[in-house]
Structure 1
Amino acid sequence: MQLFLSKLASPLGEMLLVTDAQQVIRVLDFADHKARLHRGLREHYGEPDLADAAAPAQIAGAIASYFAGHLDALDALPTATAGSGLQRQVWAALRRIPAGTTTTYGKLAKDLGFGDPRAAIDIGAANGANPVAIVVPCHRVIASNGDLKGYAWGLRRKRWLLEHEKAIQPPPVVPRTQALPGF
């Protein structure tokens, strides 16, 4: 299978975009997780023919627009991901979580029709295996107590994305107190 690798700048670091011949997103990862990207490609596509290419204008423009504050800019981007039936079901559900909102692993499991509370663990595993950062917004899933929990690309990025989308508030800035003379 012929796939194309592009690099994109982002406020969170360089991103690696893998698209197919129809300009459909197969993978969107961060460059500092390049090994994860290649491992996923091998797992799902064998040894694909991966050629360097410029990012498709529609995708590059939508990602830039998202980072500029147009949070719905990614909604129409096409993705095609290999994975198990459960993974693809979870990833489709993630795309239905609106920007500026969050859900929990348990609620996502319930929304997908899993009655067993332990299904949240499977949902979390599928969420963590998501190969398409940001466009498939796994960052919008948090723990039931409000903790951010895991994110394949790091909690710092998850927090930034949720703050960018105004789904959570940044931590308060504690003013520095001036030292008094003699102290």
Structure 2
Amino acid sequence: MNQEKIQQKRTFDPTNPLDIHFRIAEAEFRRFCTSRNVEEVTLNTNRDIETGFQAKQEEFMRMYGEEAPEAKAILAFHGTPTMTNIDNILKSNFDDRYIVKYDYGFGHYFSEFPDVALRYAGETNALILCLILPGKSHDFPEGSKPSSVADGYNSNRIEADKMGRGREIVIPNPAQIFPRYVVHLN
């Protein structure tokens, strides 16, 4: 018999079976701890977006080191009010032309907390679950109003918790984003 203890961590490696097992267990647990249930998950396979994302991750690995947290992807949610928006994001990735609000800097907004992203989901009852590369995050407390991501940083992170998870994460470059799943809620 072999017992493998898998610790919670912020980063996610979709090729690591231990990361996958942890996420499955975590998802199963959380399924019973919320007022919303997952009805369906759509897996998005878009080679063009994935190739661009992988190239950006390789760039971050060269900049920060292969095992550095800044070179690792995390999972984060994005809410948008229409299914048309979701379909367009899955096909073409996030587009800067559609950024209309930027309280914490110009870029695309994500949260590691689904309840935050749900505020922006309108009537879709769906969230996009993305792999994102925050890289080097500039941390801000609630109430801060940065106008952009500062030089030397790859993202803004608002209200990080003890694990480093951001209530809001601003990603300025769509190459740092891979919209992987659509989580449909009941």
Q: TM-score, normalised by structure 2?
A: 0.25
The higher radius of gyration belongs to 1
**Structure having the larger proportion of residues in strand:** 2
Q: TM-score, normalised by structure 1?
A: 0.25
**Structure having the larger proportion of residues in helix:** 1
Q: Which structure is higher in RCO with an 8 Å CA cutoff and minimum separation 6?
A: 2
